[in-house]
Amino acid sequence: MRPGGRLRDPKLPVYVGALVLAVLMGVGVGRVIGPVSTYPGDPGQNTAGQPSGQPQGGGPVVAADGHIHGTTGGGGSASGAPSLGGLEITASGYTLAPAADEYEVSSKPQSIRFQILRADGTPATQFAVVHEKPMHFFVVRRDFADYQHLHPTMADDGTWRVDADFGEPGPYKMYADFTAVDAAGTQAAVTLGADITVSGDYQPKPLMDPATESTVDGLTAAMAGTATPGVASPILFTVTRGGAAVELEPYLGAFGHLVALRDGDMGFAHVHPEPQLADGAVKFWLTAPTPGTYRLYLDFQVGGAVHTANYLMVVK
């Protein structure tokens, strides 16, 4: 998918606000992703034989003008407030089944294997290609000192495999963010989470101070805006090098990918931006379901290389 035309409807923020309140924390405001490819198969073609990411009539729509990540399917908290994803190992009829939940510290990448099980206990093997991948997988240490955005590959038996770096001990959490396709062609966008441990003497690092600017690999990504509980708010990121603007490149079908994690329970949202830059800035719409402290990770691409900036946002 490539970013399409910019949405100029002045009622868009109101519409998006209502949509997000009805679902969860993050919505990428952009083109509809679907009907989409299923996996295994040719990842460049959808079920109708057209290039993936090209909208067609008659297919299921996950959400108007965007794909929603971070949903648990649980319908929110007891108070009625929307909840974040990744808090459950089972949701919407699917279960994350890791092959192991404990790893050793190593200077070399280690293989993580897992399956997504259906309600009947059999492995799911059909997944929609969303933002150029059938599975977005994240590994985060609970003190936020380590963050990895990975893309596993699936074997014919439904076993996913990906290499992750575990250079330091501690408690980690894995997130599987995917859209499963059942035998009837119905799509279910789900985010599941599971705890894993890297054995050793764990020395938790203190939480970083609130920050709206992050420098990585000589690039400075400045964040403007803040989230408000229950309200869709614009969050913009501008990337510069030495004070001069740089040219952002599409990465996995978008000019950026934003992951928000709530401190404490590690609730998860994966947010996609508007399809075009806003005066050179990447623009997201973000709704915090509750007040609290959120760690934000922004993946973006410059000069063919992917970089990750990180921030701390306190939502009041």
Q: Considering the domain boundaries, does residue 310 fall inside one?
A: yes
pLDDT in tens, 32-49: 223 334 444 323 333 222
pLDDT for 174-196, tens place per residue?
Answer: 999 999 999 999 999 999 999 99
Q: Which two tokens stand for residue 79?
A: 């108070």
Domain membership flag for residue 247: yes
pLDDT beneath 70: ranges in the chain: 1-82
299 found inside a domain: yes
What CATH number should be reported for the domain holding residue 248?
2.60.40
In a domain, residue 45? The reply is: no
Residue 292 lies in a domain: yes
Can you give the pLDDT at residue 287? Answer: 87
Does 110 map to a domain?
A: no
Residue 192 inside a domain? The answer is no
pLDDT of residue 64: 27
Q: Which domain holds residue 304?
A: 213-263+279-315
Number of domains in the chain: 1
CB of 223 closer than 8 Å to CB of 161: no
Amino acid at 42: D
What pTM was estimated for this model as a whole?
0.78
Give the separation between CA 76 and CA 23, rounded to whole angstroms.
8
pLDDT at 292: 95
Residues contacting 306, CB < 8 A, separation 6+: 251, 299, 300
Establish if 250 belongs to a structural domain.
yes
Residue 55 confidence (pLDDT): 27
